[in-house]
Structure 1
């Protein structure tokens, strides 16, 4: 938003503050994150109940006079944005701010936190507690409001329906064991594994959002049911099918429990090692044809977003160079491109009860990061980006590539490890001969990444081609970020702490020679930021003179 729009938004929020989805605070730099989380839960729940898309928490406005007084809360941009991660880590289901805006005014700085409404049927908790508003007071979410939210989908969400004939004996013991283990890993900072394993079965299933007051739901049977219990879901086929097409043909059907059978289906896929670049041109890079995380993410998304009322199955077709995933139902909110950058959070879900249960078992997240993570996973392996086909009116097809489309594209990704995702996405469109915005064409051409005239653009051969010897190639080839991060943490564990100069000396000689000095320093800064945001390291010094140490 531009300054004028933010000013208008603030004026409107001040005028409409009585609707219980806006909270003003004169917050200082030390304002409690726990308090913010409690308001996040309350405002998300109230926005849901009142039919608003968002609630607002506003810092820098006096709550009594409704006048701007200014706030110095987290004035450093990185610290302010890190609040998003803190919300995502401690809300159930995981949710975070849609936007955080800063508005400078003549009376001081105002910070506006936009809180998305709780998804239909899914109340939001902060550290296990549900909150609401009563006038200007923050209170526990009452049973009446809790039921109002949870019952929003009871008549429309196919996956939330209770199966009257189903009993605990219809559930698979191995799937139940894995479900407990997954839940325990997700909440390791709250419950010990022993405690989770010792909960009575009904207690665990309710806490994992798989049952309703002890009653088995269709979600329970989909994720944990025995294969022979699938008849309880009839006439809806709870089934995934793997199909091999090409010189050899084969197929196999997979039923519940989906918590286990997704891995079984993945193991049918021919996931060989590929040498994606020829030896006579440069030293070959070996990668697996498909990344397990990418494949399971795609498969789990199919399960979570399938329109089960259409009585169809999930289909995975394996071709010689790609996998095609198909599920019933249109893309539910927005289009796939909205989620590529990881910035959009869906407000609605076709199967909210199932989505919440899958999130509790670490099968998916509910933040909209799935598509983003698949794209990043493909880029890290130098492969083309996934493609979505929405041409069929009631189905979604997604293609995951298991081969190189344009060798120049893959070579460029190997050499240039700091390319932003938006440029990688644009280069992917170039190699697939898809249209590209004029502004992006100018940007890629300016950086020497593409050649040719529109519409006959191609990835620049002069950048992608490596003419050096194999020894020189090894020097130019970058390692994964995990390798560099491991060097940093090993150093800190051995020596206790390190200055930025010491970290630079540790990494500069190991970074790709393709990078110049400034690019190497920027790369080191990005690695340190990544480790800090992940809670692995912390800065015990100042911003200008950092002193890095392990966080734990």
Structure 2
């Protein structure tokens, strides 16, 4: 592997490796989806095999790990030409469960092992329950109500599909995409359906507060606000308009290119589009009273969203764990 990642950790451990540290790494890796802890390989590039004398009895080591942390870890000895390598294959934690050692629910952050935040633990313990996106936003609706509240016309246009000639065809597609559900009391629009397709997010209590907000300042600080606007449409049907609105508020610079004077925006549209999409998708919907925000200053643009990253900051480059896949 070219580098360590969320599921792979190298340690030299030429002579020995502290047992308590081993147990803590097993817990941290299991909490992050499982992976491998490899002893006997340098943890700095180019990571040659250096050999390890740690844990000579792999069977006894596996037994001790199970006693200490409460789950089974495979301990494998590999006789490499450049030295003995010990590979610990660590399983992922069960859904809705976080492992701890000595009362600490651990995760990795670079070279360190740190306690998981309350935000992350709450998310793990809620895994067995429907996510915020799967909860009902509005229920007891007729088919006509659903079409009235959701921009179904734009929905089919975005899918590059013809609009059904009958209302039942529209509802069938929304049900198939799990944006709407049906019960004895009629139709219910789920949070994800409202968030993506609402003609007005404020129709849905609890969803309206997730609307993106754009604040424009006249200078390089928050001292003087020129405009403060909160979006009203669902993310999917209103995304193009959001990008265009932000681009229209960006400062312009004059540049000379091929002897022609041109007006150039502070940030290219492709960058704004990418960052806005990520901010909307990767927010933590369990947090209330806060929403994605764009702040435009005279010299910069700041885009933020609610929640802490689920990938440690120093693993942004090689971390692939994402949030809200279905929304994306």
* More strand, by proportion: 2
